[in-house]
Amino acid sequence: MYLSCQGLTMAFGGLTALNDVSFQMEQGEILGLIGPNGAGKTTVFNLLTGVYVPQAGVMTFRDRDLGRLSPRRRVRAGICRTFQNLRLFSGQSVLENVLAGSCLRADYGFFDMVFGTPRYFRRERALGREAMALLEKLDLTPYAHSPAGALPYGLQRRTELARALATGAELLLLDEPAAGMNEEEAEALGKVLRALREEGKSLLLIEHHMSLVLSLCDRVCVLDRGRVLAQGPPGEATADPKVAAAFLGGGREYAGS
């Protein structure tokens, strides 16, 4: 199994954010993680990337136990994320942000750097070229040297995606990549994400934009109050009456489009 979560449980103080959550993911799949606010979606990301340690449950990626890996090694293993509330290095340029993402692939030693060995220059040049190619692919080239924090929201989201891609990750965890976008922009983002899948990336995405979820995801996993409510193809899962109740009922507000 590519990515598998079994029985994830996480509580903060008295509040149980996740209760026995299990789901699995195939390679090359786009899996949507949906649910009302406070369902525990971002907590899943935080567990997968090692921000928090789950109280119970097992996570494996390519049959490796993620629980044993430091956050850094998880990125090395090929998992990288974006954030719901953008966390760019906002004073730095877009290019620098992307280059920060590729830091972990700079496989030259300290002395290579100090004495400027050919290996150092070769690797640095390669990283720079890759970063520029990545910007080109995400239509960010005109903004390469602009401070990331000054860009419009949509471009900042794309910069964060570029930074995550620069780590060389093959499984991307995207936390509301279309938040704050209009239909048109969301559509364009969908195209970018599909192109990434064509390249062999797998995507796990949290999204409230239902039209995007329905058109993009192969499967969805619906969370509510820390439990898995339903899983399956988007049409089927969202048709489940329990899901409709969770989204619309209980006086809870649904912040989707």
Q: Which of 7, 28, 128, 256 binds another protein (CB under 8 A)?
A: 128
Q: Give the footprint of another protein on residues 193-252 (CB under 8 A).
A: none
Beta bridge partners of 211: none
Burial class (CB in 10 A: 0-12, 13-18, 19+), 91: exposed
80 forms part of the interface with another protein (CB under 8 A): yes
Contact with another protein (CB under 8 A) among 119, 125, 194, 242: 125
* Closest CA relative to residue 192, chosen from 32, 30, 18, 33: 30
Distance between CA atoms of residues 122 and 99, nearest Å: 15
Cβ nearer to another protein, comparing 132 with 210: 132
Question: Amino acid letter at 81?
Answer: R
The rounded distance, in Å, linking the Cα atoms of 124 and 68 is: 31
Taking CB under 8 A as the binding criterion, the range among 2-10, 80-88, 198-206, 237-245 that sits at the site for another protein is 80-88
Identify the sign of the CA torsion 155, 81, 9, 54: negative
The residue among 167 and 202 lying less far from another protein, judged by its C-beta, is: 167
Query: What CA–CA distance (Å, rounded) separates 54 from 39?
Result: 16
Which parts of 134-153 interact with another protein (CB under 8 A)?
Answer: 142-147
110 binds another protein (CB under 8 A): yes
In the sheet that holds 56-61, the strands lie side by side as 15-25, 3-12, 56-61, 64-65
The footprint of another protein on residues 46-75 (CB under 8 A) is 46, 49, 51, 71-72, 75
Site string for another protein, 7-26 (x = CB under 8 A): -----x--------------
Nearer of residues 57 and 128 to another protein, judged by Cβ: 128
Q: Which is nearer to another protein, 70 or 241 (CB)?
A: 70
Give the one residue of 11, 58, 69, 132 binding another protein; rule: CB under 8 A: 132
Q: Which of 234, 168, 205 is nearest to 84 (CA)?
A: 205
Q: Does 3 bind another protein (CB under 8 A)?
A: no
Render 229-248 in DSSP notation, one character per residue. Answer: EEEESHHHHHHSHHHHHHHH
Crossing angle between the packed helical segments 118-137 and 153-166, to the nearest 10 degrees = 140
Residues in contact with another protein by CB under 8 A are 12, 42, 46, 49, 51, 71-72, 75-76, 80-81, 83, 87-93, 95-96, 99-104, 106, 108, 110, 113-114, 116, 120-121, 124-125, 127-129, 132, 142-147, 163-164, 167
